Amino acid sequence: MGIRVGRTASKEQYGFVYKRDKLSKIGEFQFNDTSDAFEREPLIVRFRWSAGIDFTLIPMHAKPSDAVNEMNALIQVYEESTSIYGNDSIILGDLNADCSYVCQSCWSGVQLRSESAFHWLIADDVDTTVSNSNCAYDRLIVTGDLLSKVCCADVFRFDTHFNLTQDEALAVSDHFPVELKLISDPVITTQATASPQTTSDTSPATSSSYVTSNASPTSLLSYVTSYTTSETSSSYTSSTISSSTYGTSPIDQTQTVTEGNGSWKP
Protein backbone atom coordinates (compact mmCIF):
# COMPACT_ATOMS: atom_id res chain seq x y z
CA MET A 1 0.00 0.00 0.00
CA GLY A 2 1.24 3.45 -0.86
CA ILE A 3 1.32 6.57 1.25
CA ARG A 4 -1.72 8.81 1.63
CA VAL A 5 -1.79 11.27 -1.23
CA GLY A 6 -3.87 14.33 -2.08
CA ARG A 7 -3.60 18.09 -1.89
CA THR A 8 -6.60 18.58 0.40
CA ALA A 9 -7.71 17.08 3.71
CA SER A 10 -9.27 14.22 1.74
CA LYS A 11 -6.48 11.69 1.16
CA GLU A 12 -6.35 8.50 -0.88
CA GLN A 13 -3.99 5.53 -1.03
CA TYR A 14 -3.13 3.14 -3.82
CA GLY A 15 -2.88 -0.47 -2.76
CA PHE A 16 -2.73 -3.96 -4.24
CA VAL A 17 -4.35 -7.19 -3.11
CA TYR A 18 -3.13 -10.38 -4.77
CA LYS A 19 -2.76 -14.15 -4.31
CA ARG A 20 0.81 -14.90 -3.33
CA ASP A 21 0.77 -18.41 -4.75
CA LYS A 22 0.25 -16.98 -8.23
CA LEU A 23 1.81 -13.52 -8.11
CA SER A 24 4.95 -12.15 -6.50
CA LYS A 25 5.65 -8.49 -5.89
CA ILE A 26 9.21 -7.86 -7.05
CA GLY A 27 9.41 -4.09 -6.74
CA GLU A 28 7.53 -0.90 -5.95
CA PHE A 29 7.93 2.83 -5.52
CA GLN A 30 5.71 5.85 -5.03
CA PHE A 31 6.33 8.47 -7.70
CA ASN A 32 8.10 11.50 -6.23
CA ASP A 33 5.90 14.29 -7.56
CA THR A 34 8.29 17.19 -6.97
CA SER A 35 6.50 19.40 -9.52
CA ASP A 36 3.07 18.69 -7.99
CA ALA A 37 1.70 17.50 -11.34
CA PHE A 38 -0.76 15.07 -9.74
CA GLU A 39 -3.58 15.36 -7.26
CA ARG A 40 -2.82 11.72 -6.37
CA GLU A 41 0.65 10.68 -7.57
CA PRO A 42 0.83 7.03 -8.69
CA LEU A 43 2.24 4.03 -6.84
CA ILE A 44 4.20 1.83 -9.26
CA VAL A 45 4.38 -1.91 -8.54
CA ARG A 46 6.21 -4.68 -10.41
CA PHE A 47 4.72 -8.19 -10.34
CA ARG A 48 5.87 -11.63 -11.45
CA TRP A 49 3.19 -14.08 -12.55
CA SER A 50 3.89 -17.78 -11.95
CA ALA A 51 3.49 -18.36 -15.70
CA GLY A 52 6.76 -16.49 -16.19
CA ILE A 53 5.55 -13.01 -17.10
CA ASP A 54 6.78 -9.87 -15.33
CA PHE A 55 4.72 -6.70 -15.63
CA THR A 56 4.34 -3.31 -13.99
CA LEU A 57 1.05 -1.76 -12.92
CA ILE A 58 0.74 2.03 -12.80
CA PRO A 59 -2.67 2.90 -11.29
CA MET A 60 -3.98 6.42 -11.60
CA HIS A 61 -6.97 8.40 -10.35
CA ALA A 62 -6.83 11.67 -12.25
CA LYS A 63 -8.25 14.94 -11.03
CA PRO A 64 -11.24 15.55 -13.36
CA SER A 65 -10.55 19.23 -13.98
CA ASP A 66 -6.88 18.51 -14.77
CA ALA A 67 -7.22 15.21 -16.62
CA VAL A 68 -5.29 16.22 -19.76
CA ASN A 69 -2.29 17.57 -17.84
CA GLU A 70 -2.20 14.59 -15.49
CA MET A 71 -2.37 12.12 -18.39
CA ASN A 72 0.58 13.87 -20.03
CA ALA A 73 2.46 13.83 -16.72
CA LEU A 74 2.06 10.04 -16.68
CA ILE A 75 4.69 9.87 -19.43
CA GLN A 76 7.33 10.97 -16.90
CA VAL A 77 6.05 8.34 -14.46
CA TYR A 78 6.26 5.69 -17.17
CA GLU A 79 9.78 6.74 -18.16
CA GLU A 80 10.98 6.55 -14.56
CA SER A 81 9.32 3.15 -14.15
CA THR A 82 10.89 1.94 -17.41
CA SER A 83 14.36 2.97 -16.26
CA ILE A 84 13.94 0.67 -13.25
CA TYR A 85 11.74 -2.20 -14.41
CA GLY A 86 11.60 -2.13 -18.21
CA ASN A 87 8.71 -1.18 -20.44
CA ASP A 88 6.19 -4.03 -19.97
CA SER A 89 3.55 -1.98 -18.20
CA ILE A 90 -0.16 -1.37 -17.82
CA ILE A 91 -1.30 2.16 -17.00
CA LEU A 92 -4.80 1.81 -15.61
CA GLY A 93 -7.41 3.59 -13.60
CA ASP A 94 -9.96 6.35 -13.63
CA LEU A 95 -8.23 8.79 -15.94
CA ASN A 96 -11.44 10.82 -16.38
CA ALA A 97 -10.52 10.54 -20.04
CA ASP A 98 -13.80 11.44 -21.71
CA CYS A 99 -16.88 13.67 -21.85
CA SER A 100 -16.53 17.16 -20.37
CA TYR A 101 -13.11 16.43 -18.84
CA VAL A 102 -11.40 15.79 -22.20
CA CYS A 103 -13.09 17.61 -25.07
CA GLN A 104 -12.73 16.33 -28.62
CA SER A 105 -10.38 19.14 -29.60
CA CYS A 106 -8.27 18.46 -26.48
CA TRP A 107 -7.20 14.99 -27.64
CA SER A 108 -4.60 16.38 -30.03
CA GLY A 109 -2.73 17.67 -26.97
CA VAL A 110 -2.74 14.35 -25.10
CA GLN A 111 0.75 12.93 -25.66
CA LEU A 112 -0.14 9.80 -23.74
CA ARG A 113 -2.55 9.12 -26.60
CA SER A 114 -0.52 10.26 -29.61
CA GLU A 115 2.83 8.64 -28.77
CA SER A 116 3.19 5.20 -30.33
CA ALA A 117 4.51 3.54 -27.15
CA PHE A 118 1.08 3.70 -25.51
CA HIS A 119 -1.66 1.33 -26.70
CA TRP A 120 -5.14 2.27 -25.50
CA LEU A 121 -7.32 -0.83 -25.28
CA ILE A 122 -10.61 0.68 -24.08
CA ALA A 123 -12.29 2.52 -26.95
CA ASP A 124 -13.77 6.00 -26.64
CA ASP A 125 -17.32 4.78 -27.29
CA VAL A 126 -17.26 2.43 -24.29
CA ASP A 127 -19.29 3.39 -21.21
CA THR A 128 -17.56 2.73 -17.89
CA THR A 129 -20.10 4.58 -15.75
CA VAL A 130 -22.98 3.00 -13.84
CA SER A 131 -25.18 6.09 -14.02
CA ASN A 132 -27.06 7.32 -17.09
CA SER A 133 -24.00 9.09 -18.50
CA ASN A 134 -22.01 7.50 -21.32
CA CYS A 135 -18.33 8.15 -20.68
CA ALA A 136 -15.13 6.11 -21.06
CA TYR A 137 -13.46 7.48 -17.95
CA ASP A 138 -11.63 4.25 -17.06
CA ARG A 139 -8.83 3.06 -19.33
CA LEU A 140 -6.23 0.34 -19.84
CA ILE A 141 -3.02 1.40 -21.59
CA VAL A 142 -0.43 -1.29 -22.39
CA THR A 143 3.22 -0.75 -23.31
CA GLY A 144 6.20 -2.79 -24.45
CA ASP A 145 6.26 -6.47 -25.32
CA LEU A 146 3.41 -7.02 -22.88
CA LEU A 147 1.10 -6.01 -25.73
CA SER A 148 1.69 -9.41 -27.35
CA LYS A 149 0.48 -11.12 -24.17
CA VAL A 150 -2.87 -9.39 -23.70
CA CYS A 151 -6.30 -9.76 -25.19
CA CYS A 152 -9.98 -9.22 -24.66
CA ALA A 153 -10.06 -5.76 -23.08
CA ASP A 154 -13.62 -5.00 -22.03
CA VAL A 155 -15.92 -3.52 -19.40
CA PHE A 156 -17.23 -5.89 -16.73
CA ARG A 157 -20.94 -5.14 -16.36
CA PHE A 158 -21.41 -6.41 -12.84
CA ASP A 159 -24.97 -5.09 -12.82
CA THR A 160 -25.93 -7.48 -15.61
CA HIS A 161 -23.80 -10.31 -14.26
CA PHE A 162 -25.40 -10.16 -10.82
CA ASN A 163 -28.82 -8.96 -12.02
CA LEU A 164 -28.66 -5.70 -10.05
CA THR A 165 -30.84 -2.64 -10.40
CA GLN A 166 -29.06 0.64 -11.08
CA ASP A 167 -29.49 1.71 -7.45
CA GLU A 168 -28.04 -1.59 -6.26
CA ALA A 169 -25.11 -1.23 -8.64
CA LEU A 170 -24.47 2.34 -7.52
CA ALA A 171 -24.31 1.09 -3.93
CA VAL A 172 -21.24 -0.88 -5.05
CA SER A 173 -19.58 1.64 -7.35
CA ASP A 174 -20.39 4.44 -9.77
CA HIS A 175 -17.95 2.95 -12.30
CA PHE A 176 -17.80 -0.44 -14.00
CA PRO A 177 -14.45 -2.26 -13.88
CA VAL A 178 -12.46 -2.58 -17.09
CA GLU A 179 -10.46 -5.73 -17.69
CA LEU A 180 -8.06 -7.52 -19.98
CA LYS A 181 -6.51 -10.98 -20.04
CA LEU A 182 -2.84 -11.83 -19.78
CA ILE A 183 -1.95 -14.95 -21.75
CA SER A 184 1.25 -16.94 -21.26
CA ASP A 185 1.27 -18.34 -24.81
CA PRO A 186 2.28 -16.02 -27.66
CA VAL A 187 -0.39 -13.96 -29.35
CA ILE A 188 -0.22 -12.19 -32.68
CA THR A 189 -0.79 -8.46 -32.38
CA THR A 190 -2.90 -7.08 -35.18
CA GLN A 191 -3.75 -3.60 -33.94
CA ALA A 192 -3.67 -1.79 -30.65
CA THR A 193 -2.44 1.73 -31.23
CA ALA A 194 -4.88 4.59 -30.85
CA SER A 195 -3.62 7.59 -32.77
CA PRO A 196 -5.39 10.83 -33.59
CA GLN A 197 -7.50 10.69 -36.73
CA THR A 198 -6.67 13.02 -39.57
CA THR A 199 -10.18 14.42 -39.53
CA SER A 200 -11.42 17.83 -38.55
CA ASP A 201 -12.80 16.70 -35.20
CA THR A 202 -9.29 15.57 -34.05
CA SER A 203 -10.88 12.75 -32.09
CA PRO A 204 -8.61 9.74 -31.53
CA ALA A 205 -9.27 6.41 -33.18
CA THR A 206 -9.22 3.20 -31.20
CA SER A 207 -9.57 -0.45 -31.98
CA SER A 208 -11.29 -2.93 -29.71
CA SER A 209 -10.23 -5.87 -31.91
CA TYR A 210 -6.51 -5.91 -31.37
CA VAL A 211 -5.20 -9.44 -30.87
CA THR A 212 -5.63 -12.92 -32.18
CA SER A 213 -4.41 -15.99 -30.37
CA ASN A 214 -4.14 -19.73 -30.75
CA ALA A 215 -3.42 -20.09 -27.05
CA SER A 216 -4.85 -23.02 -25.17
CA PRO A 217 -5.47 -21.71 -21.64
CA THR A 218 -4.93 -23.44 -18.06
CA SER A 219 -6.58 -22.40 -14.89
CA LEU A 220 -5.09 -19.40 -13.14
CA LEU A 221 -7.11 -18.38 -10.10
CA SER A 222 -5.23 -15.33 -8.95
CA TYR A 223 -5.87 -11.64 -8.77
CA VAL A 224 -4.30 -8.36 -7.90
CA THR A 225 -6.42 -5.39 -6.92
CA SER A 226 -5.16 -1.85 -6.71
CA TYR A 227 -7.40 0.55 -4.88
CA THR A 228 -7.42 3.94 -3.21
CA THR A 229 -8.84 4.65 0.22
CA SER A 230 -9.95 8.03 1.49
CA GLU A 231 -9.91 9.43 5.00
CA THR A 232 -13.30 11.02 4.45
CA SER A 233 -15.10 8.42 2.36
CA SER A 234 -14.87 4.82 1.22
CA SER A 235 -13.64 5.24 -2.34
CA TYR A 236 -11.42 3.03 -4.41
CA THR A 237 -9.72 2.44 -7.70
CA SER A 238 -9.17 -1.22 -8.41
CA SER A 239 -7.30 -3.29 -10.91
CA THR A 240 -7.96 -6.99 -10.61
CA ILE A 241 -6.11 -9.87 -12.19
CA SER A 242 -8.45 -12.81 -11.97
CA SER A 243 -10.08 -15.58 -13.93
CA SER A 244 -12.76 -16.20 -11.34
CA THR A 245 -13.06 -13.07 -9.20
CA TYR A 246 -16.64 -12.49 -10.28
CA GLY A 247 -17.71 -16.12 -10.21
CA THR A 248 -16.92 -16.93 -13.82
CA SER A 249 -15.45 -20.25 -14.91
CA PRO A 250 -11.64 -20.40 -14.85
CA ILE A 251 -9.91 -19.87 -18.18
CA ASP A 252 -6.73 -21.86 -18.82
CA GLN A 253 -3.37 -20.06 -18.98
CA THR A 254 -5.19 -16.76 -18.86
CA GLN A 255 -5.30 -13.98 -16.28
CA THR A 256 -7.78 -11.16 -16.30
CA VAL A 257 -6.68 -7.65 -15.33
CA THR A 258 -9.64 -5.62 -14.16
CA GLU A 259 -9.68 -1.96 -13.20
CA GLY A 260 -12.57 -0.09 -11.67
CA ASN A 261 -13.19 3.10 -9.75
CA GLY A 262 -15.97 4.44 -7.63
CA SER A 263 -17.56 4.75 -4.25
CA TRP A 264 -17.38 1.47 -2.40
CA LYS A 265 -19.78 0.56 0.38
CA PRO A 266 -18.79 -2.64 2.18
Portion of the chain with pLDDT greater than 70, in percent: 70
Q: Which of 151, 171, 169, 148 is nearest to 159 (CA)?
A: 169
Which amino acid makes up residue 159? D
pLDDT number for residue 213? 33
Range of the domain at 127: 12-263
d(CA 231, CA 164): 28
d(CA 244, CA 41): 30
pLDDT number for residue 188? 52
CATH number, domain with residue 24: 3.60.10.10
For the stretch 210-263, pLDDT in tens is: 333 333 332 222 234 444 444 433 333 333 333 222 333 333 344 555 555 543
pLDDT number for residue 257? 54
Q: 17: pLDDT confidence band, cut at 50, 70 and 90?
A: confident
Q: Is residue 4 part of a domain?
A: no
29 pLDDT more than 60: yes
pLDDT number for residue 11? 92
Out of 12, 39, 41, 259, which one is annotated catalytic?
A: 12
126 pLDDT more than 90: yes
pLDDT number for residue 186? 58
Q: Is residue 64 part of a domain?
A: yes
Q: Is residue 185 part of a domain?
A: yes
| 4-18, 26-40, 116-130, 252-266: least confident range | 252-266
d(CA 113, CA 124): 12
- Is 161 noted as a catalytic residue in this protein? no
Q: Which of 148, 92, 154, 152 is nearest to 123 (CA)?
A: 154
Contacts by 27-30 with C-beta closer than 8 Å and gap 24+? 27/84, 27/85, 29/84, 30/2, 30/3, 30/5
State how many domains the chain has.
1
Q: Is residue 6 part of a domain?
A: no
22 pLDDT more than 80: yes
Q: Is residue 25 part of a domain?
A: yes
pLDDT number for residue 241? 38
Please say whether the dihedral angle defined by the alpha carbons of residues 18, 20, 25 and 29, taken in this order, is positive or negative: positive
pLDDT number for residue 15? 83
More confident residue, 7 or 264: 7
Out of 28, 39, 41, 61, which one is annotated catalytic?
A: 61
Mean pLDDT within 59-86: 97
Q: Which residues pair with 5 in a beta bridge?
A: 12
Q: Is residue 109 part of a domain?
A: yes
pLDDT number for residue 31? 96
- Is 12 noted as a catalytic residue in this protein? yes
CB 223 within 8 A of CB 242: yes
More confident residue, 180 or 83: 83
For the stretch 127-152, pLDDT in tens is: 999 999 999 999 999 999 999 999 99
CA 27 from centre of chain: 19
Q: Is residue 2 part of a domain?
A: no
Q: Is residue 44 part of a domain?
A: yes
